[in-house]
Amino acid sequence: MSNRRSFLKKLTTASVGASLLPFSSFARPATRANSKYKKGLVISTWNHGIPANKAAWNIIKNGGTAVDAAEMGAREVEKDPTGQSVGIGGLPDRDGNVTLDACIMDSNGNAGSVAYLEEILHPISVARKVMDDTPHVMLAGDGAQRFALDNGFEKTNLLTEASRQAWLKWAKEAKYAPIINIENHDTIGLISMDKNGDLAGSCTTSGVAYKMNGRVGDSPIIGAGLFVDNEVGAATATGMGEFVMKTLGSFLIVEFMRQGMSPQEACEEGIRRIVERYDVSSIQVGYLATNKAGEVGAFAIHPGFNYALYKNGKNELFNSPSHL
Ligand code: ASP
């Protein structure tokens, strides 16, 4: 463990507990905050990160912006009917409704988000429209759908036969109880850096499978499922959203990076914030982060979280290290 890290650990556990470190405690390390990586990169969650990164990279390699890349990468996964955790084909809630959550942030600190959106194929693009064309950050439910329809999006049945069958099978044995479960957690969270060194991100999901009707997770919440600060870095989350929301994980990780931590150290501290407060024996959360220098980090509570990184001409899957 580096001296800096053990110092941070001592400081966080001993004197300031679980609170944020005072900003003035740290000079910004020149190698982190000041060096800009200008070759572009994309990082995203799970196996579907590979096609998502590819779609995002197609934008970046042609000189496109990070935010266009973030949107295109997310769309690639949303439109795949075989994926049961994002967009069409997503597993429904306990009552059989597919409800989608998504958010996007650009490099100017703008943000857009939709929650509990039904029957729209590309929630990430609706979130982008909220960001670009309204004075608001978040639209939810019927209002979000009306906004989408008014802006040329069409109604699509998102419940595929495979997901309907899976739900019917689940419903046969399921005791209908409004409990949090970990039956499914495969959101796509994606961070892109363009060749100008600018950062953006996207996050889109059908949420936890067989959730209570009306449940919204971390993925559309700016600062929880995603946070981008173009001066510092960006982070995104997957897993049991309630724990990401209770600790505002992505914002926390970006703030840790602002204080001088590497993306890896910051992701580990973000997970530590959860595991030191909650029983995580059946809870999975995974974080991904990158900074302006193009360094990346990943950390999860349990083994099994993986991510795709497109950097230096290679698009590869990596297993994240974990707390347990
Ligand atoms: N984070 C998502 C949620 O809680 C689940 C996931 O990662 O798939 O809605």
Element (H, E) at 274: helix 263-275
More confident residue, 67 or 26: 67
Residue nearest to atom 4 of ligand 1 (CA): 241
Model confidence at 259: pLDDT above 70:
yes
Give the position, in ligand 1's atom list, of the atom nearest the Cα of 237.
1
Residue % of the chain over a pLDDT of 90: 80
Residues 200-243 have pLDDT tens digits of 999 999 999 999 999 999 999 999 999 999 999 999 999 999 99
Residues 19-33 have pLDDT tens digits of 444 444 444 444 455
Rounded-to-integer distance, Cα 69 and Cα 92, Å = 28
Residues 122-133 have pLDDT tens digits of 999 999 999 999
Contact 236, 287 (CB under 8 A): yes
Regarding the beta carbon of 218 and ligand 1, being less than 6 Å apart is answered yes
Residue 296: CB partners within 8 Å, gap ≥ 6? 41, 43, 263, 264, 288, 289, 290, 309, 311
pLDDT band at 18 (very low <50, low <70, confident <90, very high): very low
Comparing CA positions, the residue from 153, 27, 28 lying closest to residue 102 is: 153
Contact 131, 144 (CB under 8 A): no
The strand pairing partners of 200, in sequence order, are 192
Q: What is the pTM of this model?
A: 0.89
Rounded-to-integer distance, Cα 137 and Cα 130, Å = 6
Regarding the beta carbon of 207 and ligand 1, being less than 6 Å apart is answered yes
Which of the following is catalytic: 12, 187, 205, 238?
Answer: 187
**121 alpha carbon – ligand 1 mean position (Å):** 18
Regarding the beta carbon of 239 and ligand 1, being less than 6 Å apart is answered yes
Regarding the beta carbon of 205 and ligand 1, being less than 6 Å apart is answered yes
SS3 57: helix
Domain residue ranges in the chain? 30-319
**205 alpha carbon – ligand 1 mean position (Å):** 6
pLDDT band at 86 (very low <50, low <70, confident <90, very high): very high
Fold of 30-319: Glutamine Phosphoribosylpyrophosphate, subunit 1, domain 1 (3.60.20)
Pairing mode, strands 296-300 and 306-311? unpaired
Q: C-alpha 290: how far from its chain's center?
A: 12
Residue 249: HSE in the Cβ half-sphere, 13 Å Cα cutoff: 38
Average pLDDT over residues 302-323: 96
Ligand 1 site-directed mutation target among 103, 114, 181, 205, most atoms within 8 Å of CB = 205
Which pLDDT value is given to residue 176? 61
Token representation of residue 64:
């496109």
Rounded-to-integer distance, Cα 224 and Cα 221, Å = 5
Give the position, in ligand 1's atom list, of the atom nearest the Cα of 240.
4
Ligand 1 site-directed mutation target among 187, 242, 250, 305, most atoms within 8 Å of CB = 187
The DSSP symbol for 13 reads: I
The answer to whether residue 187 is catalytic is yes
Give the position, in ligand 1's atom list, of the atom nearest the Cα of 225.
1
Residues 162-207 have pLDDT tens digits of 999 999 998 988 766 544 444 556 899 999 999 999 999 999 999 9
How does the average pLDDT of the chain come out, rounded?
Answer: 89
**86 alpha carbon – ligand 1 mean position (Å):** 9
Which pLDDT value is given to residue 186? 85
Give the position, in ligand 1's atom list, of the atom nearest the Cα of 101.
9
**93 alpha carbon – ligand 1 mean position (Å):** 13
Contact 185, 242 (CB under 8 A): no
Give the position, in ligand 1's atom list, of the atom nearest the Cα of 86.
8
Model confidence at 47: pLDDT above 70:
yes
Ligand 1 site-directed mutation target among 85, 181, 219, 283, most atoms within 8 Å of CB = 219
Contact 156, 85 (CB under 8 A): no
